[in-house]
Structure formats: C-alpha cells, structure tokens
A and B are shown apart, each in its own frame.
Chain A
Amino acid sequence: MPPATGPKSGDALFASVDRVNAELFTLTYGAIVRQLLTDLEEVEEVNKQLDQMGYNIGTRLVDEFLAKSNVSRCVDFKETADVIAKLGFKMFLGVTATVTNWDAEGTSCSFVLEDNPLVDFVELPDTCQGLQYCNVLSGVIRGALEMVSMKTEVTWVRDMLRGDDAYEMRVKLTKQVPEEYPYKDDD
C-alpha cells in the first residue's frame, strides 16, 4: 500500500481497480455506435448522443476517481489537466495521454492519445464520415470536469479514424464555478 497521503501512481491506480477484457468494452461500444447509426439516421444526432452518454458516465466516474486516487485539490487548470492525463486516463483505459498546446492564458490545452483502446478493430465506412466516433471520451471529460466545478468545451482536432496521426481533443475551460461553502475538505 502506498502512504495514505500522496496520490497513487497511474500504474498502481490501474492495478487497484476491477478490470475486464478490453475487447468486451471495445466491441460493446462499437455495437452501440452501429445501432445508434441505424436508429437515429442523422450522424450529427449520433454524435450528440455519444457525447451525452459520455457526459453522464463522466459525472459518475469522477467520484470513483476521486475516491480511489487520493489526489488532493488541484491548484489550477494546468494541474487538473495533468492529473486527468496521467491518472484519469490510466485508471480507466489503462493508457496515458499527453497534455500539450497550452494557450497563453492557461485555459485551453490538448489531450493527445496515441493508443486508444476504444478504437481497436474499428474502421469507419465512407458513409459515416461525419461521425465523431470517440465522442464518448470527450463527453466523459466534460462531465467529470463539470462535477468539479469546471465548465469546459471539448472538441476533437485529430482523429486516427480519419487518417490523422493521433487522437487529440481540445479542452477549453469556459467557466470556473466558485466552490460553494461550506465544503468539507478531505484530510
């Protein structure tokens, strides 16, 4: 066991959670996307629903993350982004992201994923060119951050399914809702 105070390492964190065969996850998500494309017809609507599903998942995953990771309050958005990239992605997907392309104000940055379990075995047919296949991930980030008082806009700028060399999502902090008092700080 690591000391009760400091945050766990990404590897230790991933090792500490219940895990399943990634194929089940990847194929399940793929089957959902396929069914949504059939039922909703409009690709834009599918993108929206995937984002919404991700948002809902994110609002729950953040609790699990905070409960298991021992991270303490982040001082700023930069630290938050680092924690997500190194610990958040690792804990759930088993991979880490890189944080890059900060703007001068420190309010927007990119998460770059070179390895993304969500898209193993996935190829997009020409008929779904407008599909944002990984929208569930951006939704998760948005949902999770909103639960810790940060309103964000998350968009995809690079997508390997569309021929780019990596996955890159742009996260822009639009509003930081002040913490409501009284809150109880975990020691």
Chain B
Amino acid sequence: MGREVAESCVDGVVMEMVAAYCGRFYATKPELAARRIEAIGFQVGHQLTERYTMERPRFSDHLEAIKFICKDFWSELFKKQIDNLKTNHRGTFVLQDNRFRWLTRVSIDPSVESMDATENDSTTLGDSAAQTTSMLLYFPCGIIRGALTNLGISCSVTADMSNLPACSFVVRIKT
C-alpha cells in the first residue's frame, strides 16, 4: 500500500469543488456546472488508470476492461469492489455499489428521510439535497468515463441513485 491521507481530505475537496461549481460559479446553469464536475472526474480517472495499468497487459475486450474497473480500480479508490455487474451484451453495463462510500458520507440524511414528508419546507430541502447529491455523482461518473477512455473505450456514464446508499453506474459503450 502506498501513501495514504485521511478520507476527510478527499471528501472535503470534492464537496467544496461541487459546492463552488454549483453555488459560486454556475448557480443558474446547473448543466454547465455538471459538465465541469464531470470533466474534473474524467481527468482523475484518466490519470489514475494510467498509474494502475502500468504493469498490466492490454485488456482483450470490453468486458475485461469493465471487470478491471469493478475490481482493481474500485478497490484502489474505495477499498471494496463493485457488488454487482450486469450487462445486456450489447454495450451497456450496470455497475452497482451497494454502499457507495461518497454517498454514505454526505450529510444529507435528515432531508432524505423527509423526502416523503408532507411538510413543504422539508420537501424543498429534500429536493435540494437530492440535487446536490446528483451533482456530486457527476464526479465518479467522470472518473469511470476517464478510466475507460484511457483504456481505449469511449462511452457515456450516468448514475442512478434511486436506492440510496446504493448507487448504480450505467456505462454505455459508443460504437
């Protein structure tokens, strides 16, 4: 194991980056903020795979590369593997993490619980928390896309967080 830092350091910079882009820079243009956050993730994923695949043979096919993301790559980042991988065998892969680290540590719990409450205030709060979370998820989506792009696979990546704290990343390979 190489050098380590406290997880709070990563959480801190990621949260602040998302807050800065969604709040201070592009408050009225969420789609622009999303694109920037994704771009930052892309660069991180691209550089990390560069480092993690240095001593590996090339992957023979898409599935091999996706498996690498699910196992080795995810373990390096989150100390666990992706829990479930599904594919339609036509270029779409669904990577599910049952307890996605970055969502378990985001402090949105009270508002998430109040999502189905009838009270007006808390519903608004719930909405904005959900919005922040979905903004945050552009970052890991970018990381996955950057990683796969570096492995020669161009794709789009979206996230589905309908079952918090589980999170699914949907990879669609471009043909």
Contact = CB atoms under 8 A, between A and B. Distances in A.
Interface of A: 14, 17-25, 27-29, 31-32, 34-35, 39-40, 49, 52-53, 56-57, 60-61, 64, 91-94, 117, 120, 136
A64 B8 contact: yes
A24 B77 contact: yes
A87 to B, nearest CB: 12
A12 B37 CA distance: 35
B43 A34 contact: yes
A57 B16 contact: yes
A105 B142 CA distance: 50
Interface residues of B, number: 32
A31 B15 CA distance: 14
25 contacts: A18-B8, A19-B4, A20-B5, A20-B9, A23-B2, A24-B76, A25-B9, A25-B13, A27-B47, A28-B17, A28-B44, A31-B40, A31-B43, A34-B43, A53-B13, A53-B17, A57-B12, A57-B13, A57-B15, A91-B6, A93-B5, A93-B6, A94-B6, A117-B5, A120-B3
B82 to A, nearest CB: 17
Given A21-B77, A39-B36, A53-B20, A28 B5 contact: no
Contacts of A31: 40-41, 43-44, 47
A21 B2 contact: yes
B7 A20 contact: yes
Contact of B77 (A20, A35, A91): A20
Contact of A60 (B2, B10, B12): B12
Interface in B59-98: 76-77, 79
A110 to B, nearest CB: 22
A147 B36 CA distance: 31
Nearest to A29: B13
Interface centre among A19, A20, A57, A92 (most CB of B within 10 A): A20
Nearest to A32: B17
